[in-house]
Chains A and B, each alone.
Chain A
């Protein structure tokens, strides 16, 4: 297995993330079946599908929170193997947002933002604070800097989590249903931040059921079921002209909901 891909072959600008024939099992359970996806730089990919179809597992493979057993995953030309150095390098480029935010509860919002740049990137305190405030402004909650996560609303926490992620200047961001734990009134404030991010040219992979968001932001929509990619298309065709009955059924379920 080659450690890094030859540039002419991978063309990192077009294919920033490449998954080819990825398979994964939990014990005997085949969660991911022959997944082939490539995501270019600046591209926005939305993944949707019914519960248990393997969406989370798929994106968690990209930063090695889950290990795949067959196939190759390349991020920016670096192959994900058991090599810790490669994993570190990939995690440096890939940020991730979670459904339940996962802020560090024992630190204030500001500390949540500064701790990683300081400990992982060796950034001096002053610089880290400036960076933190820059991104807090961007997600429009600089006034919360000295609050603890438990004192913030869900929407605010998710925006803090986005800012925390941005402080590590990732090249790609993975979103695992970032709004599904939120009340409807808070969903919009998080989606606004995500749209703003998308407009700034960030490469994004979002697992989400927010179809409005998918329509406005996505370059491509991927529909998964039972660990397989059923259909992959641009949002216009995906929503107006789905190719498979499984997709049609899923879309009808979501829209009637």
Chain B
């Protein structure tokens, strides 16, 4: 008869950590050279940190409306930073030369963007629509207090439209079942176009001629999405709106010239606002273009492949500054005399394509990390190329390349400062311009430190968010 066997009971692993002393010993003083490094490091910190803190915080002058306050403080031996200088200029640092009376328009758009990005970025928290609705009400209230009734109406309309659309798209008679039936699809297309046309005529005759065409087209587009895409979630609609309705709204609100809004040319734009415009559009356009370039580079069609490879290699071979110069100086030479092309727009296009080339390479790296089996399984199940790419392959790829993309986003954000070379004044440009103010000579440090802090906060936020995304997707399937 065989002997009985039973597994040993598991033992707890021995505890090797020994509190603070143990941590210090293993991490800071593990060898003579490490001890030396630790001592030198502490010494450097001891010399720099306290003096910076006393300059920036303890001995600083915070309030006041002229340099007299700071000069007085300096005379009294309080030789710290003069933050009053920044305070006085806060408006210019934030909005550039955008007319003071019109700044509410920027505020509305920033609020709308913030409140609509929140559910997208924190999608796990705002999964259900009632929480989103709550957030929307908060947004409307906040906008009402900060900006006023017009702003809060815009906020409400923009925020709740995706909720309405996602509810509509679940009604079977509107979308499902689409069926392969060409006539059914034809009717839906026709319906969408008719609604767009109706909106066009109503806008044209009742509200404003200038915006009618755009609003009509936008409406048709949204209707097409509604009738052709099956049960799209609220998040899906927020993405669609972000790339269609939001730019249109921004265009009219920020540039003005319609609906009684005074026009504000782009050469009045500047400061943090301009930085966000350039970085935001850069990020939103470079990533999709980058994805297309990466797919094109791996395409089996030789023409597409060659075009994508040459574009990527060309762009990667030149510095961004020269791309911007090209965009502002060379590009107009190729256009007919009377065609003028906005300088900001040219910079935006330059940056978008420049970073698209870099992102394309990051994404291509990710695509190479997807096992061949994934493509084969999808093909065997009958997935056609584009659907397979968007639903099966790219979601996996993008998760793989989060660190690389975050890197590109960060350097894009910081490279917006290069628009200075073509005469656009972003946050750093405004900070530099402020130093030249004859009334406030000598406050260079404050300007630079302020700009640095703002950039650091933005970059740190992006970096933390990318870490959050990495963790989120890591725990979900590895």
Contact = CB atoms under 8 A, between A and B. Distances in A.
A91 to B, nearest CB: 4
A91 B381 contact: yes
Contact of A102 (B178, B180, B377): B377
Interface residues of B, number: 30
B387 A150 contact: no
Given A120-B383, A124-B176, A124-B177, A104 B476 contact: no
Contacts of B399: 106
Contacts of B180: 122
A14 interface: no
B56 interface: no
Interface stretch (B82-90, B390-398, B412-420, B425-433): B390-398
B376 A102 contact: yes
A98 B382 contact: no
Interface string A131-168: 00000000000000000111000000000010011001
Contacts, number: 75
B390 to A, nearest CB: 9
B380 interface: yes
Interface string B170-189: 00100011111000000000
B381 A105 contact: no
A142 B374 CA distance: 24
A105 B396 contact: yes
Contacts of A248: none
A91 B383 CA distance: 9
Interface in A81-115: 88, 91-92, 94-96, 98, 100, 102-106, 115
Interface residues of A, number: 30
B478 interface: yes
B477 A150 contact: yes
Interface of B: 172, 176-180, 230-231, 371, 373-374, 376-384, 387, 391-392, 395-396, 399, 473, 476-478
Given A116-B382, A120-B387, 14 more contacts: A65-B376, A91-B380, A91-B381, A92-B382, A95-B381, A98-B376, A98-B377, A102-B371, A102-B373, A119-B383, A119-B391, A124-B177, A124-B230, A124-B231
7 contacts: A95-B380, A106-B476, A106-B477, A122-B177, A122-B179, A161-B377, A168-B382
- Those 5 A-B pairs whose CB atoms lie nearest each other, nearest first: A102-B377, A102-B373, A96-B380, A148-B477, A91-B382
